[in-house]
């Protein structure tokens, strides 16, 4: 007899676990299927001397290099940017820097305001209550009063500290009269229960043994299980079954073989690549996979003469500048970018180039290391990407993974608007670092490894001809199939999408509860 679930969620990452926790209700069987395994962050590589080697191997962000048991290949031969995704309970948040900004109100209205892209069918105000709820669950650190963003509820934790290098950068921004603000971060700056306060060790990307840095598993897994959610790790969903305009269930494979699961509702939260793989063959819509947006990112690094010991503090969560976030057509492009400070790195990563090219080998090597280590600070230039016509996720016509699923093809070229924005932004980042006192500036004009934000390939909207899903992520034409990851994004904004995709997941979960007649007491 086929097992059944009321709600099956594909993917135990940022969106999937948030959705599961929110939708759970007494008597409801909610099953989350995750191809990856749990990660014991209490034993993170940052406790080992060779932690920097882990970044190249089992914590490598690129699945084509990592080649873990749960990874599937991604054909990136036609992409300017390589994929950076992680398969685990907790998803890519296990491997992230926990920078946690919200989209701005204008990000939801780019067509009305700037004549580019499309307007979302929802607004910032629509999402705000779920942003707030998610801040509480993830335990966001930050400071109220940012003039770059709308007023909002206080964060659960005060902002993370600056270090001597980022303090100097802040002064540089002040000298130029530009905006800066301490980063919103999904990192506890104060202890609470089992989560200790951040101790500024630096490499958040290999997991946090203190659980100070949130990931979806740390923030949502136990809470979801307490509500009766079942998470099955090592379970790869291999297909959906559809009958008469509805999904009847799914197939998945685990160590025990192949299984069928009949489902009243199926929710896809496997990131844009994983979701596109499952929608392929299930849904016949001309927009499926089209309009892929990433965040083209340049990295500008400044070297300072004095020793700043710039490795101290979370590598990606210190301060940002959103001075150039909104559109100013005099700059020669539409929309804008964020500059985000990145701290110095460990010795090996510094030698391997950090955010740019490796240090030269040979007699010049030792002096170059001495001049650079602990004295560098970088700024990203992260662009609001427009949905270009040719950028898309397709399925490879012949290549299959170990489960017989098609290998996804990432087809992506940086568009003209983003190229202009990158050029302008690199110049501004260089100015800021010089104003901070950096003597030597180096530029990585496009981080090839920055494929961590994949958005827009099943975008939401009210018109079934122009969108894949409705404003709550329900796929048009399939009444019980939803998408709640960044596939449904309509625009990319210029910041990390995780808070936004989690807010969408929480909001969609509440909508599903209401639709199913299940009402939990607490609301957003």
Partner 1 sequence: MTYPLLPALLDTLLPGDGADWPAAGAHGVAARMDDLAAGAPGGSEALAAVLEALPADFESRPPEDRETLLRRIDADDPDRFARVVTAAYNAYYTDPAVRDVIERLTGYENRPPQPLGYDLPPFDESLLDAVKARGPIWRAVPEE
| Distance of closest approach, residue 362 Cβ to partner 1, in angstroms | 5
356 touches partner 1 by CB under 8 A: no
- Of these, 86, 131, 220, 311, which contacts partner 1 (CB under 8 A)? 311
**C-alpha to C-alpha distance for 244 and 247, rounded to whole angstroms:** 8
Which CB, 165 or 422, lies closer to partner 1?
165
Q: How is residue 5 annotated by DSSP?
A: E
**C-alpha to C-alpha distance for 275 and 212, rounded to whole angstroms:** 30
243 touches partner 1 by CB under 8 A: no
> Phi/psi at 432 (nearest 5 deg)?
-65, -45
462 touches partner 1 by CB under 8 A: no
Whether 269 and 485 have beta carbons less than 8 Å apart is answered as: yes
Stretch that binds partner 1, among 265-273, 308-316, 392-400, 424-432 (CB under 8 A): 308-316
| Stretch 392-431 residues interacting with partner 1 (CB under 8 A) | none
323 touches partner 1 by CB under 8 A: yes
75 touches partner 1 by CB under 8 A: no
313 touches partner 1 by CB under 8 A: yes
162 touches partner 1 by CB under 8 A: yes
Whether 95 and 61 have beta carbons less than 8 Å apart is answered as: yes
Burial class (CB in 10 A: 0-12, 13-18, 19+), 307: exposed
By DSSP bridging, strand 406-412 and strand 75-79 are: parallel
Which CB, 335 or 472, lies closer to partner 1?
335
Stretch that binds partner 1, among 195-203, 245-253, 257-265, 291-299 (CB under 8 A): 195-203
| Distance of closest approach, residue 351 Cβ to partner 1, in angstroms | 5
Q: How many CA atoms lie within 13 A of 30 on its CB side?
A: 27
| Stretch 95-134 residues interacting with partner 1 (CB under 8 A) | 104-106, 108-109, 112-113, 123-125
181 touches partner 1 by CB under 8 A: yes
449 touches partner 1 by CB under 8 A: no
203 touches partner 1 by CB under 8 A: yes
| 3-state secondary structure (DSSP) of residue 376 | strand
Which CB, 249 or 302, lies closer to partner 1?
302
- Distance between first and last Cα of the chain: 38
436 touches partner 1 by CB under 8 A: no
307 touches partner 1 by CB under 8 A: yes
| Stretch 50-69 residues interacting with partner 1 (CB under 8 A) | 50-53, 56-57, 65, 67
**C-alpha to C-alpha distance for 22 and 508, rounded to whole angstroms:** 9
- Of these, 118, 188, 210, 295, which contacts partner 1 (CB under 8 A)? 210
153 touches partner 1 by CB under 8 A: no
| 100 Cβ neighbours under 8 A, 6+ residues apart | 135, 138, 140, 142, 183, 184, 185, 186, 317, 496, 498, 499
- Of these, 254, 326, 401, 431, which contacts partner 1 (CB under 8 A)? 326
Per the structure block, which two tokens stand in for 520?
């939990």
Quick note: the x/- pattern for partner 1 over 363-392, rule CB under 8 A, is x-xxx--x--xx------------------
Specify the length of the chain in residues.
524
Alpha helices per DSSP H over 390-497: 416-435
Which CB, 53 or 514, lies closer to partner 1?
53
- Of these, 9, 28, 32, 44, which contacts partner 1 (CB under 8 A)? 44
Maximum alpha-carbon separation in the chain: 71
For residue 363, the tally of other CB atoms under 10 A from its CB is 7
């Amino acid at each position: 007899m086929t097992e059944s679930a009321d709600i099956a969620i594909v993917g135990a990452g940022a969106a999937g676990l948030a959705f599961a926790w929110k939708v759970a209700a007494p008597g409801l069987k909610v099953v989350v299927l995750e191809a990856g395994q749990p990660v014991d962050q209490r034993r993170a590589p940052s406790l080992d001397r060779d932690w920097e080697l882990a970044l190249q191997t089992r914590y490598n962000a690129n699945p084509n290099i990592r080649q873990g048991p749960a990874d599937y290949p991604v054909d990136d031969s036609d992409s300017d940017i390589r994929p950076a995704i992680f398969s685990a309970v907790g998803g890519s948040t296990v491997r992230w820097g926990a920078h946690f900004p919200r989209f701005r109100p204008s990000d939801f209205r780019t067509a009305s305001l700037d004549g580019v892209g499309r307007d979302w069918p929802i607004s910032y105000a629509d999402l705000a209550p779920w942003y707030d709820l998610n801040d509480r669950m993830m335990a966001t650190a930050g400071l109220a009063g940012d003039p770059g963003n709308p007023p909002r509820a206080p964060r659960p934790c005060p902002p993370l500290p600056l270090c001597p290098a980022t303090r100097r950068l802040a002064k540089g921004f002040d000298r130029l009269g530009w905006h800066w603000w301490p980063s919103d971060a999904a990192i506890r700056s104060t202890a609470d229960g089992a989560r200790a306060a951040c101790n500024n060790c630096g490499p958040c990307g290999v997991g946090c043994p203190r659980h100070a840095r949130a990931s979806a598993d740390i923030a949502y897994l136990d809470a979801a299980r307490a509500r009766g959610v079942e998470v099955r790790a090592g379970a790869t969903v291999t297909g959906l079954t559809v009958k008469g305009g509805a999904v009847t269930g799914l197939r998945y494979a685990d160590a025990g073989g192949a299984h069928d699961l009949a489902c009243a509702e199926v929710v896809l939260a496997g990131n844009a690549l994983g979701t596109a793989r499952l929608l392929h063959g299930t849904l016949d819509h001309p927009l499926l996979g089209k309009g892929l947006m990433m965040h083209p990112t340049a990295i500008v690094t400044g070297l300072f003469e004095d020793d700043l010991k710039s490795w101290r503090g979370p590598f990606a969560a210190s301060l940002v500048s959103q001075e150039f976030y909104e559109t100013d057509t005099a700059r020669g492009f539409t929309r804008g970018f964020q500059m985000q400070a990145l701290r110095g790195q460990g010795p090996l990563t510094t030698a391997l180039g950090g955010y740019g090219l490796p240090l030269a080998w040979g007699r010049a090597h030792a002096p170059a290391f001495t001049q650079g280590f602990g004295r560098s600070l970088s700024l990203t230039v992260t662009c609001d990407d427009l949905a270009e016509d040719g950028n898309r996720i397709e399925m490879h016509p012949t290549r299959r993974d170990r489960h017989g699923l098609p290998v996804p093809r990432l087809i992506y070229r940086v568009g003209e608007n983003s190229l202009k924005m990158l050029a302008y932004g690199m110049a501004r980042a260089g100015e800021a670092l010089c104003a901070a006192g950096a003597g030597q500036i180096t530029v990585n004009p496009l981080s090839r490894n920055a494929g961590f934000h994949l958005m827009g390939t099943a975008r939401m909207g009210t018109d079934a001809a122009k969108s894949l899903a409705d404003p709550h992520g329900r796929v048009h034409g399939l009444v019980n199939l939803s998408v709640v990851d960044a596939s449904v994004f309509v625009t990319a904004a210029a910041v990390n999408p995780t808070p936004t995709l989690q807010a969408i997941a929480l909001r969609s979960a509440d909508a599903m509860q209401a639709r199913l007649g299940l009402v939990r007491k607490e609301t957003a």
